[in-house]
Amino acid sequence: MKNSQEYSKKVSNLFRLLKSAQANVKEVTYDGVSDALVYAIISENMSKSAADAAIKRFDEYFVDLNDLRVSRIEEIIEVLGEDTPATRDTASRLIRALRVIFNEYNNVSLEALRKVGKRPAKQALEKIDGTSRFVVNYCMLTSLQGHAIPLTRQMIEYLRNNELVHPDADEQEIGGFLTKRISAANAYEFYVLLRRESESPKLQLKQKAARKTKAKTAEKRKK
């Protein structure tokens, strides 16, 4: 990424500030890699708090991941809470991913990936229909001891809006830059802290106000 040395200092300062301002981060654990994948797909397009609440409803509604695999999209949308393009996409991706896993391994488990190297495991995840860079990186980080920084759209916007990365850098470049800047030992903590910050209510209100101001300015210019 361009000017990486300049942005490295900014990211280091951000990490230090977030650690001092927020509570300690507790490492997450999953029964299996497939569980991490399901959580990642659900949480990619909603806040972490909303995703955590959705997962609890999933655990209460579906018997197991196999039950989820054979469910209708409408059922999953109902558990997610509302019928929107985002939840409909999430439901579709969940079913597609679990079907691919079942067809490949004859069950909905990805534990076979623990027995191969990190690169083959990542490549296998990338081939699963319904996954994304965020989903793959989340699974690598939380279940396969990989060095990765999962990035949601909001996290990327936060980094760009606060000039913590080069404005022309894409998601892949930003992710690569962060994994070089943040050690594997600190990767999960950094991910959680950055995600919390990017999803904070105060920040959302500030961004909403900024969008309104921008819209009003644009309207005045038209007149």
Q: Is the pTM of this model over 0.75?
A: yes
Query: How far from 200 is each of 110, 178, 188, 206, CA to CA, in Å?
Result: 33, 21, 18, 10
**Tokens 């579906």 — which residue?**
62
Residue 145 region, left (φ>0) first, then alpha (ψ -120 to 50), else beta? left
**For every one of its 223 residues, what pLDDT tens digit does the chain have, with 9 covering 90 and above?**
777 888 999 999 999 999 998 778 888 989 999 999 999 999 999 999 999 999 999 999 999 999 999 999 999 999 999 999 999 999 999 999 999 999 999 999 999 999 999 999 999 999 999 999 999 999 999 999 999 999 999 999 999 999 999 999 999 999 999 999 999 999 999 999 999 999 987 654 454 444 445 555 656 666 5
Each domain of the chain, given as residue ranges in start order, spans 33-143
List all residues 6 or more positions away from 83 whose beta carbon is below 8 Å from its beta carbon. 77
Query: In CATH, what number does 33-143 get?
Result: 1.10.340.30
Instruction: Measure the CA–CA gap between 107 and 68, rounded to whole angstroms.
Output: 12
Question: pLDDT digit string (tens) for 80-126?
Answer: 999 999 999 999 999 999 999 999 999 999 999 999 999 999 999 99
- How would DSSP label each residue in 19-82? HHHSPPPPPP--SSHHHHHHHHHHHTTS-HHHHHHHHHHHHHH-SSHHHHHTS-HHHHHHHHSS
Residues 199, 35, 68, CA angle at the centre, nearest 5°? 105
Burial class (CB in 10 A: 0-12, 13-18, 19+), 27: exposed
